[in-house]
């Protein structure tokens, strides 16, 4: 085939179709030559056309090929020194994935040819492999980015009004009886009316998807007939993963992803992506050569002083070097692409502390944050950090810059401790309930900086948190050695499934207690898919490799009572601005009223003093929320007024009688929530200074009309 090659442009990076042909552009600072390889089909053992790219602008290689169209398959071979000891691992025998590929056709088929060295050689990765990897590596796809969004725009739901629902595209839909079998487990299944109606009726405002960037399954998992179900092993930061495509893999996955986003937006639900920019799926020096390693190893990764090896702050073998301008550009270009072209509303950054590392220390003023802060597009979406990594000093909860929200691991730990009866200070419980001002207020951040969660994909489900004292990860093939051992869980008297009705009732009440605590806390609540109806993973707290019934939502056996309670609870939160404030409590009297915006009480009705907060054995307290104390205006510029609330927490195992405070706090109180029961409705009225019995391990919420 005679192909005319034009100069092309260094920008934009990747493969760009303009209606007449395709511009190819790839960054590789240390490369000595690059071949563009074109394929006719995914089954081709090698390329049909090889084009040596001759144009180079700075460190970017580029060429324009006329008469190519969307659906064209391609990859790269990159020439240069193979000197692992100097950080260079070029090997033109390895076909490489374009870091900017918008779609990737197929998944990796493990084979020794994928490694840049000879597998089993005595010199290990210092040896050199001459086997062609093309038959086993998925090909990149030229895509047509045109799509009818039908006027779709960003929803821009304020964080203080947000309720996040963490889920997995396949896990949520794979077993749903209302979704056609041929699309279950796909983007189109998430866009199906059955899915949309469920999410809308539940009341969540945003779906946070576990990784959807194209990822690979580790070889050791494949050898055990397991898979990387969670997807934290990215090789394509622009490509929606092909596994979740229903109708094809040569660009169809891009269109289906957009259909999903459009459908969710039409229902008023935002889309947040869990993104993994801290490392790639290529692993350590013994890993495969799939993309970045073969394109410019020293330009993409953080290497040790001995450049043969990789810095590993992630536990996955490598760390992307976010200090390098080319890597920063890759991350920013990727984020902008997902916002502008794919219409996503925000991101949750996996192991975000890794991205903040300058040299070895975590520095919140690193170039990564500087670049995001000044970007007019990325800075305007929801930015959520998982504020830790496994490196020294990596636990950075409360230390991210303004504009960022964080998964609040301290909230999770505190609330678990409180409800299982572990020793913990009441002062910390109150601090977490009020939005964790000790973590965020000094940096001019708001309560919405705290993403409050009791469970996440990593760890026990809510059902398992109250059903197991120990993890049960035997199915993972690691002799139950993997996963967190300190879960702050309590099985309520029996390990795992039981027929004891008293234990079953207690477990269900504990789940209601934790959901109620979280949804009434200041900050942004995050629910894990299935927790609202008591989904179990049979005690597996690290189901990252379980693409099966362990991880998939079991719609046939859902706890409808708990699901309905959660739905009512979400609606209750949405209806009352007292529980989703934009600003901090002041603890000071409100002008003209004399009452504080918040006050804490002992069961005897007296206000708590400093020494009461230091008790590590006390389990019982109450809080008054002043409906006049919301120091914010609504969208019309009017002062926000709400009812008054009095919330009674009893994590003690016995019934405790609480005295309602004086008439100045409320002239009459109505019970609206009692976690002893599954329904949220107004019943029973109480007068000032009257006593009310709060059963062991339960919450009661009282409401008083605001007459001021």
Query: What are 150-182's pLDDT values in tens digits?
Result: 999 999 999 999 999 999 999 999 999 999 999
> Average of pLDDT values for 434-456?
93
Q: Which of 125, 218, 350, 547 is catalytic?
A: 350
**pLDDT tops 80 at residue 391:** no
Q: What angle do CA 350, 353, 357 make, to 5 degrees?
A: 130
Q: Is the pLDDT of residue 106 over 90?
A: yes
pLDDT of residue 632: 85
Question: In the structure, what pLDDT confidence band is assigned to residue 231 with cuts at 50, 70 and 90?
Answer: very high
Asked whether residue 615 carries a pLDDT value surpassing 80, the answer given is no
Contact between 181 and 468 (Cβ < 8 Å):
no
Confidence of residue 359 (pLDDT cuts 50, 70, 90): low
Structure-token pair, residue 94 = 């390895």
Answer whether the bond into residue 12 is a cis peptide, omega within 30°.
Answer: yes
Q: Output the six-digit token pair for 482.
A: 């993997």
Question: How many Å apart are CA 540 and CA 441, to the nearest integer?
Answer: 36
**pTM reported for the whole predicted model:** 0.96
Looking at residues 333-348, what average pLDDT do you find?
98
Q: Which pLDDT does position 527 carry in this prediction?
A: 98
Only one residue has tokens 């795992």, namely 496
Asked whether the predicted pLDDT for residue 591 surpasses 60, the reply is no
User: If pLDDT is split at 50, 70 and 90, which confidence band does 369 have?
Assistant: confident
Look up residue 561 and give its two tokens.
């009572």
Sign of CA dihedral 293, 297, 303, 307: positive
Q: Which of 91-95, 389-393, 642-646, 688-692 has the lowest mean pLDDT?
A: 389-393
Report d(CA 305, CA 310) in Å as an integer.
9
HEC per residue, 510-538: HHHHHHHHHHHCCCEEEEECCHHHCCCCC
Residue 322, pLDDT score: 87
pLDDT level of residue 358 (50, 70, 90 thresholds): low
- Identify whether 350 is a catalytic site residue: yes
In sequence order, the 6+-apart residues with CB closer than 8 A to the CB of 37 are 47, 49, 50, 51, 74, 75, 76, 77, 95, 134
pLDDT at 323: 86
Find the catalytic residue in 98, 208, 386, 642.
386
To the query of whether residue 505 is one of the catalytic residues in this protein, the response is no
3-state SS assignment for residue 183:
helix
pLDDT of 285 > 70? The answer is yes
Spatial neighbors of 579 by CB under 8 A, at least 6 apart, are 519, 520, 521, 522, 572, 573, 625
The pLDDT > 70 percentage for the chain reads 97
Give residue 393's pLDDT: 78
Q: Residue 588 has what pLDDT?
A: 66
Q: What per-residue confidence (pLDDT) applies to 650?
A: 96
- Overall average pLDDT of the 507-524 stretch: 98
Q: Is-contact 79 34, C-beta < 8 A?
A: yes
Greater model confidence, 454 or 323: 454
As a whole number, mean pLDDT of residues 413-428 equals 90
Is the torsion defined by CA of 660, 568, 209, 268 positive or negative? negative
First to last CA, the chain: 83
Q: Cα Rg for the chain, rounded, in angstroms?
A: 27
* % of residues, the chain, pLDDT over 90: 85
Find the mean pLDDT for residues 91-114.
98
Question: Pairing relation of β-strands 382-385 and 405-407?
Answer: parallel
């Amino acid at each position: 085939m005679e192909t005319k090659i034009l100069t092309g442009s260094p920008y934009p990076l990747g493969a760009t179709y303009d209606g007449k042909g395709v511009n190819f552009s790839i960054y590789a600072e240390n490369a000595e030559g690059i071949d563009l390889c074109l394929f006719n089909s995914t089954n081709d053992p090698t390329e049909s056309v090889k084009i040596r790219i001759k144009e180079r602008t700075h460190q970017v290689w580029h060429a324009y090929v006329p008469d190519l169209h969307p659906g064209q398959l391609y990859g790269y071979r990159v020439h240069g020194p193979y000197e692992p000891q100097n950080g260079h691992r070029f090997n033109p025998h390895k076909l490489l994935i374009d870091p900017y590929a918008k779609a990737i056709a197929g998944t990796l088929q493990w084979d020794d040819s994928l490694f840049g060295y000879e597998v089993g050689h005595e010199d290990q990765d210092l040896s050199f492999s001459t086997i062609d990897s093309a038959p086993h590596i998925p090909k990149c796809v030229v895509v047509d980015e045109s799509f009818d969004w039908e006027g779709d725009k960003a929803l821009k739901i304020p964080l203080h009004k947000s309720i996040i629902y963490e889920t997995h595209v396949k896990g949520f839909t794979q077993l749903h009886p209302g979704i056609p079998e041929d699309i279950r487990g796909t983007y189109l299944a998430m866009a199906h009316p059955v899915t949309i109606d469920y999410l809308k009726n539940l009341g969540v405002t945003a779906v946070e998807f576990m990784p959807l960037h194209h990822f690979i399954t580790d070889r050791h998992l494949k050898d055990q007939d397991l898979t990387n179900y969670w997807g934290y092993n990215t090789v394509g930061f622009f490509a929606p993963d092909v596994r979740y495509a229903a109708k094809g893999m040569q660009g169809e996955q891009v269109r289906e992803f957009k259909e999903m986003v459009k459908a969710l937006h039409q229902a008023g639900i935002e889309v947040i992506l869990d993104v993994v920019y801290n490392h790639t799926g290529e692993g350590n020096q013994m890993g495969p050569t799939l993309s970045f390693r073969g394109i410019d190893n020293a330009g993409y990764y953080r290497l040790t002083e001995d450049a043969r090896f990789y810095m590993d702050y992630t536990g996955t073998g490598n760390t992307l070097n976010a200090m390098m301008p080319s890597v920063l550009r890759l991350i920013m270009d990727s984020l902008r692409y997902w916002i502008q072209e794919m219409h996503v509303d925000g991101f949750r950054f996996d192991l975000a502390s890794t991205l903040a590392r300058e040299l070895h220390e975590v520095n919140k003023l690193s170039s990564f944050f500087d670049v995001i802060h000044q970007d007019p597009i990325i800075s305007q979406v929801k930015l959520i950090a998982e504020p830790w990594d496994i490196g020294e000093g990596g636990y950075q909860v409360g230390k991210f810059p303004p504009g960022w929200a964080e998964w609040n691991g301290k909230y999770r730990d505190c609330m678990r401790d409180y409800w299982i009866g572990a020793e913990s200070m009441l002062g910390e419980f109150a601090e977490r309930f009020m939005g964790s001002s000790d973590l965020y207020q000094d940096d001019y951040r708001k309560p919405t900086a705290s993403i409050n969660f009791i469970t996440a994909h990593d760890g026990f489900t809510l059902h398992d948190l109250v059903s197991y004292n120990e993890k049960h990860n035997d199915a993972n093939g690691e002799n139950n050695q993997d996963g967190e051992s300190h879960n702050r869980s309590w099985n309520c008297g029996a390990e795992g499934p039981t027929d004891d009705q008293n234990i079953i009732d207690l477990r269900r009440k504990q789940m209601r207690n934790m959901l109620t605590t979280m949804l009434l806390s200041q900050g942004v609540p995050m629910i894990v898919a299935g927790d609202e109806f008591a989904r179990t993973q049979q005690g597996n707290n690290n189901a990252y490799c379980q693409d099966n019934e362990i991880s998939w939502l079991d719609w046939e056996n859902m706890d409808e009572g708990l699901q309905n309670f959660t739905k009512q609870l979400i609606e209750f939160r949405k209806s009352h601005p007292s529980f989703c404030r934009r600003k901090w409590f002041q603890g000071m009297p409100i002008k003209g009223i004399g009452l504080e915006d918040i006050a804490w009480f002992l069961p005897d009705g007296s206000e708590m003093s400093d020494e009461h907060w230091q008790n590590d054995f006390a389990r019982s307290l109450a809080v008054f929320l002043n409906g006049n104390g919301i120091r914010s205006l609504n969208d019309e510029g009017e002062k926000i007024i709400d009812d008054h609330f009095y919330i009674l927490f009893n994590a003690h195992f016995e019934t405790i009688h609480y005295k309602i405070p004086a008439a100045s706090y409320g002239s009459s109180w109505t019970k609206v929530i009692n976690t002893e029961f599954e329904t949220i409705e107004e019943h029973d009225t109480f007068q000032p200074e009257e006593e009310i019995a709060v059963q062991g391990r339960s919450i009661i919420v009282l409401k008083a009309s605001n007459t001021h």
